[in-house]
Amino acid sequence: MGSSGQQVSWKLADHPTLPKGKTLALIVLDGWGEYKPDEYNCIHVAQTPTMDSLKQGAPEKWRLIRAHGKAVGLPTEDDMGNSEVGHNALGAGRIFAQGAKLVDIALASGKIYEGEGFKYISECFEKGTLHLIGLLSDGGVHSRLDQLQLLLKGASERGAKRIRVHILTDGRDVLDGSSVGFVETLESDLAKLRENGVDARIASGGGRMYVTMDRYENDWDVVKRGWDAQVRGEAPHKFTNAVEAVKKLRENANDQYLPPFVIVDENEKAVGPIEDGDAVVTFNFRADRMVMLAKALEHQDFDKFDRVKVPKIRYAGMLQYDGELKLPGHYLVSPPEIDRTSGEYLVHNGVRTFACRPPSDDPQVKGGLMKLVSHSIHIL
Ligand SMILES: O=C(O)[C@@H](CO)OP(=O)(O)O
C-alpha cells in the first residue's frame, strides 16, 4: 500500500541506459553545490580538479539537482537546505512537505489547536504555566521565530494565562550577533501579551551549542546546563532582562556558545522554572537537536545526568522527533511520513545494496534515503 492507501507495485522497469548487473555508486557530498560563480563562492574559487574532470568529461550526463526550497518540501525558495531535509528528500522520488512546512500549514489553518497534542497541554492552562523551549531565530532549519509568535498568540487566545519562553540563541543558521534583535522582537511581543493580561516573559536562555541543543548523545552536559536553567531556575548568570543578558554575555562568547542564564525578579528569584502542573512545548520542528531534551523531559528511568527535580508536567514536541521511540508521545503536528523510498524499491527488485554512512547521520538517513530494509547491508 502506498501513502494514498492504494495498492502500488514494487516492480521497477529496466533503466533505458544504465546496464544491468553493473555496480552503481551513489555518493552524497555534504555541503557541496553550485551557485553564482563569484569571488564569495568558495567552491568556485577552490581548485577542484576531480569535479571539473567529471563535469567536463561527460557534460551530457552532468545534472544539477536542487537541495533547497520547494524542491525538497520546504515552505519557500528562500529556505536553505540542511542535512535533515536532504536525507529525507533524497531517494523519496516525490516531494514530501517537511517539518517547517507542515507546521506552517497547521498554524495557518488553525488545525494545530484542534490536534491531540495541543488539547493535552492546554489542560494545564487554567492552573499552570506554559513553557516554550526552542531556538530563537528565523533560520528556518530547526525552528522559526514567526511560528513561535503565532504559537504564543494562539495559545494565549486559547486560555494560556502564564507563559514562559526559554530561548536558545542561534548564530549558526543566521548571522552571529543577530540574537539581540530576535530577543528584542520577542520581548516586544511578550509586552503586548502582558498588556492583554497574559503574564508572559522570557525565563531563561543560552547559546544553542552550549545549552540544550546537543545531538546524538554527544555531550549530555549541554542538555544538563539547559535543564538546570529551564527546570530548576539555576544558572551561573542571572539578569532581570533578557536583552541585557544577551548583550552582556556576548562580550565573551558568540551567539552559538552563550552560557546559560536565568531571568530573575527583584528578589533574585528565577521567574520561570518548570513546576508540577505546567505544560512544556519544545517548538523546534527539526528533530535531531531536540531528542536529548525530549528524553530528559519524558523518560521516567532517565539516567544520563541527575535531573535533581522532575516536575510532573504535560509535554508535547512541535513534532514527534523519533518515530521508532515514539518520542515524545504527544506532539502538535504529525511528522512527514516518508514511505516507498528508493532503497525499498531496490530490495524488492532483488538489487543488493551496500550503504556506508557516518553514525551522526543515522537517525535522519534511517527515515529517508536508505530506510533500513532487511536485505541491505548498512555500515556506520
Ligand atoms: O548543525 C546543525 O544542526 C545544522 C545547522 O543548524 O547543520 P546540518 O543541517 O548540516 O546538520
Name the grid cell of 56. 567536463
Task: Give the atom of ligand 1 at the shortest distance from the alpha carbon of 286.
Answer: 3
Specify the residue with its C-alpha closest to ligand 1, atom 5.
Answer: 173
Tell me the CA distances in angstroms from 96 to 230, 332, 362, one per residue in order: 34, 19, 20
Beta strand 162-169 pairing with 199-207: parallel
Percentage of the residues of the chain whose pLDDT score is greater than 90: 73
Q: Do the Cβ atoms of 272 and 233 come closer than 8 Å?
A: yes
Model pLDDT for residues 88-136, shown as the tens digit of each residue? 888 788 899 999 999 999 999 999 999 999 999 999 999 999 999 999 9
pLDDT at 356: 78
ipTM over 0.85: yes
Segment 176-180 mean pLDDT: 98
Q: Do the Cβ atoms of 30 and 363 come closer than 8 Å?
A: no
Task: Give the atom of ligand 1 at the shortest distance from the alpha carbon of 82.
Answer: 9
Would the CB of 353 count as within 6 Å of ligand 1? no
Tell me the best of 87, 169, 172 to mutate to test the pocket of ligand 1, counting ligand atoms within 8 Å of each CB and taking the most. Answer: 172
Percentage of the residues of the chain whose pLDDT score is greater than 70: 92
Rounded distance, CA 65 to CA 69, Å? 12
Specify the residue with its C-alpha closest to ligand 1, atom 3.
Answer: 289
Query: How far does the centroid of ligand 1 lie from the alpha carbon of residue 255, in Å?
Result: 15
Specify the residue with its C-alpha closest to ligand 1, atom 10.
Answer: 83
Q: Do the Cβ atoms of 210 and 259 come closer than 8 Å?
A: yes
Segment 1-13 mean pLDDT: 72
User: What does the mean pLDDT of the chain come to?
Assistant: 92
Would the CB of 135 count as within 6 Å of ligand 1? no
Specify the residue with its C-alpha closest to ligand 1, atom 6.
Answer: 173
Model pLDDT for residues 250-298, shown as the tens digit of each residue? 999 999 999 999 999 999 999 999 999 999 999 999 999 999 999 999 9
Query: How far does the centroid of ligand 1 lie from the alpha carbon of residue 213, in Å?
Result: 11
Query: How far does the centroid of ligand 1 lie from the alpha carbon of residue 83, in Å?
Result: 6
Segment 227-255 mean pLDDT: 98
Amino acid occupying residue 155: A
Question: Residue 9 catalytic?
Answer: no
Tell me the best of 137, 141, 174, 321 to mutate to test the pocket of ligand 1, counting ligand atoms within 8 Å of each CB and taking the most. Answer: 141
Model pLDDT for residues 202-216, shown as the tens digit of each residue? 999 999 999 999 999
State the CB neighbour count (10 A cutoff) for residue 11.
8
Would the CB of 286 count as within 6 Å of ligand 1? no
Phi-psi region of 361 (alpha: psi -120 to 50; beta: other; left: phi over 0): alpha
Q: Per DSSP, what are the bridge partners of residue 165?
A: 132, 202
Would the CB of 170 count as within 6 Å of ligand 1? no
Model pLDDT for residues 44-77, shown as the tens digit of each residue? 999 999 999 999 998 998 999 899 999 999 999 9
Which three-class secondary structure state does DSSP give residue 78?
Answer: coil
Tell me the best of 28, 90, 138, 173 to mutate to test the pocket of ligand 1, counting ligand atoms within 8 Å of each CB and taking the most. Answer: 173
Rounded (5°) CA angle 172-218-137? 25
Rounded distance, CA 205 to CA 265, Å? 15
Domains of the chain by start residue, with CATH: 66-97+336-372 (no CATH), 99-317 (3.40.1450.10)
Would the CB of 360 count as within 6 Å of ligand 1? no
Tell me the best of 82, 142, 173 to mutate to test the pocket of ligand 1, counting ligand atoms within 8 Å of each CB and taking the most. Answer: 82
13 or 132, which is more confident?
132
Query: How far does the centroid of ligand 1 lie from the alpha carbon of residue 346, in Å?
Result: 29
pLDDT at 30: 81
Would the CB of 141 count as within 6 Å of ligand 1? yes
The confidence band for 5, taking pLDDT boundaries of 50, 70 and 90, is low
Rounded distance, CA 10 to CA 16, Å? 18
**Of the listed 3, 4, 53, 83, which one is catalytic?**
83
Model pLDDT for residues 298-328, shown as the tens digit of each residue? 999 999 999 999 999 999 999 999 988 999 9
Query: How far does the centroid of ligand 1 lie from the alpha carbon of residue 68, in Å?
Result: 14
